[in-house]
Chains A and B, each alone.
Chain A
Amino acid sequence: MSALHFHGVSARRGQRLVLDGISARVPSGHLTAVIGPNGAGKSTLLDITSGLKRPVQGSVELDGKDLHRLGRRELAKLRAYLPQRAGVDWPITVERVVALGLTPALPAFGTIPSALLPAIDDALLACDLLGLRDRPATQLSGGELARAMLARAIVGDPALLIVDEPTAGLDPRHAIDAVQRLKARTTAGCTVVMAIHDLDLALAFADSILAIRDGRLLAHGPTHEVVTESLLTSLYDVPVRLSRDGDGISVRFLKSGVSS
């Protein structure tokens, strides 16, 4: 089980300080939603969590190991990262795209060892892609492509999965489907961190929340404890009403409160 620890993480983009001393603990096997307005530092936090960007201060630990001290390959086996609007540039078949997720486990030369082949089938199955395995990835619809990219990310069975905006550009059904699949990974023991703008989905599925604004952590903890009207209002600068009914919580932004 792999808990994620942020110890006073600060980061710069150019001269600007985009993350300022983020300290938090993300429990293992949780689906954690990173929420906040545009430019809050969500993507930067994910870049740092994935080890692709180094913090100027602080560290991120996965199971007590400093992520930024791990070797490139070791890290690649441990965590998977899906950037925003991930795609494929060549008409490669879905099966081969998914197989690319095994890159860190491959020997220096030669093809995929037969021991790894079942993992590809498992990932295709988990993402409902068995019927599309021979389809060129460039011919997939938005929802299918999102599933293919997720299959690519989970094929190596990472302990940590980081996803930037899994619902961007998806219709409601596919957006729900995408988040549900991420949630399903946590039951397999995977720690999942996603940045997400769709608060209804975040509240419905995320186990815990990291709320950031202007590079600072406003709140973090279990979703139902942390998310309040006052938190969301100060997070987005828009009055918010949370309404609870039999279908769960929904978030309403009150347009009248926006000063132009």
Chain B
Amino acid sequence: MLVSCLLASAFASVLAGSVWLTPREAFQALAFDHADLAGQIVTQIRLPRVVLSMAIGGILGLSGAVMQGLLRNPLADPGLLGVSAGASLGAVIAIYFGFAASFTLAAPLFGLTGAFVTTGIAFILARGGGTLSLILAGAAVSSIASAGVSLALNLSPNPYAAYEIMTWLMGSLADRSWDHVRLATPFILAGGTMLLLTGRALDALALGEAQAESLGIAVSRTRMLALIGTALGVGGATAVSGTIGFVGLIAPHLVRPLVAHRPGKVLIPAMLVGAVLVTLADIASRTLVFRGMPLNLGVFISLIGAPFFLWLVLHVRRRTA
């Protein structure tokens, strides 16, 4: 069911945009002719975007589910360990110092580096400690990275650079090419594989770390897998798209009742729902235009995600009270 939802939204995403295509045109463009306008739009503009939105949404949903399972906290999300903030800082550095102007992939490459550096630091800081020290180290590293981003905005040499940084921070899939796909997908696939391996351990972790350990689960190894998988996958995703919040938080909750709340079984459905969410949101961000300005993907998702988050907080409070 989720898979067909995903396929349908992916197909819709090929058709929708400032130039609307009929399904017939899209099929023709895919099957035969790449040279005409429709063919160019489909193969060079729409398809890479569809692939990226599915991969990015998928890894965000998956990583959110793993984080919530690992930390046994329904409010955890992939950004918790500083991955997103680090990727933002890296990309902002690339824009600020003008590397992004000289070659297009500078921002994503710097973003990747930033993601790995921040998670690495968080991990070293939390070494030997448990899950709580990992959260605290992640929060600390995150705020340092965010401070760096603010500093760059504050000191930006010209309004144009500031505008570019702002746009990047808002998260978008506009003008992404196959180069971006080639850059991000290896990391997303590698990270996703590591995250999927944690399923069994996450089920046992529902009993707490001591009981999981007693059931033969290597908790510290699971923590490593989750952390490195998130750094690779979400790092790769954020490096290409900019910050996209809330998907990792929301996707697991949407599917949790379907799998009887088992934290390990929620991984694949959360991944699929994440992919659907980002693909749909990307369609919306292309087609909804306010006063001539298209809505950025990250902004659109936040607009929908924030009220959901509020609902979730109230819901969780009711459940635990």
A: residues with CB less than 8 A from B are: 50, 52, 72-73, 75-77, 79-83, 86-93, 96-97, 100-101, 103-104, 106, 136, 138, 152
Q: Is the beta-carbon distance between A80 and B262 smaller than 8 angstroms?
A: no
Inter-subunit contact A83/B215 (CB<8 Å): no
Q: How far is the CB of A140 from chain B (nearest CB, A)?
A: 14
B125 at the interface (CB under 8 A from A): no
A-contacting residues, B187-245, CB 8 Å: 200, 203-204, 206-208, 210-211, 213-218
Interchain CB contact under 8 A, B260 and A93: yes
Interface pair A90/B263, CB less than 8 Å apart: yes
Partner of B210, one of A83, A89, A90, A92: A83
Q: Does B127 contact A (CB under 8 A)?
A: no
Residues from chain B with Cβ under 8 Å of A76 in the complex: 214-216
**Are A92 and B208 CB-contacts (below 8 A) given A50-B214, A76-B216, A104-B215?**
no
Residues of A with C-beta under 8 A to B211: 81-83, 86, 152
Question: Interface residues of B, CB < 8 Å — how many?
Answer: 20
Do B261 and A152 touch across chains, with their CB atoms under 8 A apart?
no
CA A197 to CA B216, docked complex, whole Å = 28
| A96 / chain B contacts, CB cutoff of 8 Å | 260, 262
The answer to whether B208 touches A100 (Cβ under 8 A) is no
Q: How far is the CA of A138 from the CA of B320 in the complex (A)?
A: 9
B 259-300 contacts with A by CB, 8 A: 260-263
Q: List 17 A-B contacts (CB under 8 A).
A: A50-B214, A72-B218, A73-B216, A80-B214, A81-B210, A83-B208, A83-B211, A88-B207, A90-B262, A97-B207, A100-B203, A103-B203, A103-B204, A103-B215, A104-B215, A106-B200, A138-B319
User: Which single residue of chain B is at the shortest CB-CB distance from A85?
Assistant: B208
* B217 adjacent to A103 (CB under 8 Å): yes
B210 touches A52 (CB 8 A): yes
B176 part of interface (Cβ distance < 8 Å) = no
User: How distant is B244 from chain A, measured CB to nearest CB, in Å?
Assistant: 26
The reply to whether B319 and A100 contact each other, CB–CB distance below 8 Å, is no
Among A73, A77, A91, A152, contact of B207 (Cβ-Cβ < 8 Å) = A152
Residues of A within 8 Å of B262, CB to CB, are: 90, 92, 96
Which parts of B12-63 form the interface with A (CB within 8 Å)? none
Tell me, rounded to whole Å, the shortest Cβ–Cβ distance linking B71 to chain A.
10
Please give, as numbers and ranges, the residues of chain B lying within 8 Å of A90 by CB-CB distance: 72, 206, 261-263
Contacts of B260 in A (CB 8 A): 92-93, 96
Given contacts A83-B211, A104-B216, A138-B319, contact A92 B204 (CB under 8 A): no
Residues from chain A with a CB closer than 8 A to the CB of B207 are 86-88, 97, 100, 152
Residue of B nearest to A103 (CB): B215
Inside 8 A of B204's CB, which chain A residues have their CB? 100, 103
**Which chain A residue shows the least CB distance to B263?**
A90
CB distance from B73 to the nearest CB of A (A): 8
Most B CB atoms within 10 A — which of A52, A87, A103? A103
Starting from the known contacts A81-B211, A81-B214, A88-B206, 17 additional A-B residue pairs (CB-CB under 8 Å) come to A50-B214, A79-B214, A81-B210, A83-B208, A83-B211, A86-B208, A90-B261, A92-B206, A92-B262, A93-B260, A96-B262, A97-B206, A97-B207, A100-B207, A103-B204, A106-B200, A138-B319
Please indicate the chain B residues that have their CB under 8 angstroms from the CB of A93 in the complex: 260
A contact residues around B263 at 8 Å (CB): 90
Q: How far is the CA of A101 from the CA of B208 in the complex (A)?
A: 13
What residues of B have a CB within 8 angstroms of the CB of A77 in the complex? 216
Whole-angstrom distance from the CB of B246 to the nearest CB of chain A?
Answer: 21
Q: In the bound complex, how far is the Cα of B263 from the Cα of A97, in angstroms?
A: 12
- Assuming the contacts A92-B261, A92-B262, A138-B319, asked whether A75 and B208 have C-beta atoms less than 8 A apart, the reply is no
User: What separation, in Å, do the CA atoms of A69 and B62 have in the docked complex?
Assistant: 36
The list of the 7 closest CB pairs from A to B, nearest first, reads: A76-B216, A81-B214, A89-B72, A83-B210, A104-B216, A103-B215, A73-B216
Complex contacts, B210 vs chain A, CB 8 Å: 52, 81, 83, 86
Task: List B contacts of A89 (CB < 8 A).
Answer: 72, 206, 208
User: B72 to nearest A CB, angstroms?
Assistant: 4
Within the assembled complex, what's the spacing in Å between the Cα atoms of A54 and B272? 42
- Cα of A72 to Cα of B219 in the assembled complex, Å: 11
In the bound complex, residues from chain A placing their C-beta under 8 Å from that of B214 are 50, 52, 76, 79-81
A79 contacts across to B, CB distance below 8 A: 214
Bound together, the chains give a CA A83 to CA B217 distance in angstroms of 15
CA distance A87 to B207 in the complex (A): 6
Q: Are B216 and A136 in contact (CB under 8 A)?
A: no
**Interface contact A87-B208, CB-CB below 8 Å:** yes
Residues of A within 8 A of B208 (CB): 83, 86-87, 89
Q: Which residues of B contact A75 (CB under 8 A)?
A: 216
